[in-house]
């Protein structure tokens, strides 16, 4: 059977995209998430968090020591310690954060939204 380029594109469009690709590592001091499409709720338990990749939807419960987020179109909800560093880079990132203090924020890239949520 011979496929034309247009037919090949149509078949690729019908193929399901992987729901989650990459890794989630829950270490004693650091939570690392990499890849694409992870949708998770994770207890932070005072750890730092590093998230890389695209299209993650991550909710961190408890209090986290810091967040480093890089990539495209990720959504993160997090509660930070007052002295935490909140670093966001890439494009289309959405971070909703809580803290009893004012974490140091480093935001770089385009169309990133970093919003403090108050109770």
Asked whether residue 88 is assigned to any structural domain, the reply reads: yes
**76-109 pLDDT, tens digit each:** 999 999 999 999 999 999 999 999 999 999 999 9
Residues ≥6 apart with Cβ < 8 Å to 74:
51, 53, 54, 55, 56, 57, 58, 90, 92, 93, 94
Number of structural domains (the chain) is 1
Asked whether residue 14 is assigned to any structural domain, the reply reads: no
**pTM of this prediction?**
0.83
Which range of residues forms the domain containing residue 96? Answer: 21-116
> In angstroms, rounded to a whole number, what is the distance separating the alpha carbons of residues 65 and 72?
23
> In angstroms, rounded to a whole number, what is the distance separating the alpha carbons of residues 97 and 64?
10
């Amino acid at each position: 059977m011979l496929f034309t380029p247009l037919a090949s594109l149509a078949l690729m469009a019908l193929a399901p995209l992987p729901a989650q690709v990459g890794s989630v590592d829950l270490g004693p001091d650091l939570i690392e998430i990499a890849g694409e499409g992870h949708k998770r709720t994770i207890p932070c338990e005072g750890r730092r968090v590093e998230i890389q990749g695209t299209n993650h939807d991550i909710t961190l419960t408890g209090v986290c020591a810091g967040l480093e987020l890089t990539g495209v179109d990720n959504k993160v909800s997090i509660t930070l310690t007052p002295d935490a560093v909140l670093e966001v880079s890439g494009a289309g990132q959405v971070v909703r954060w809580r803290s009893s203090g004012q974490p140091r924020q480093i935001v770089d890239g385009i169309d990133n939204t970093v919003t403090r949520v108050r109770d």
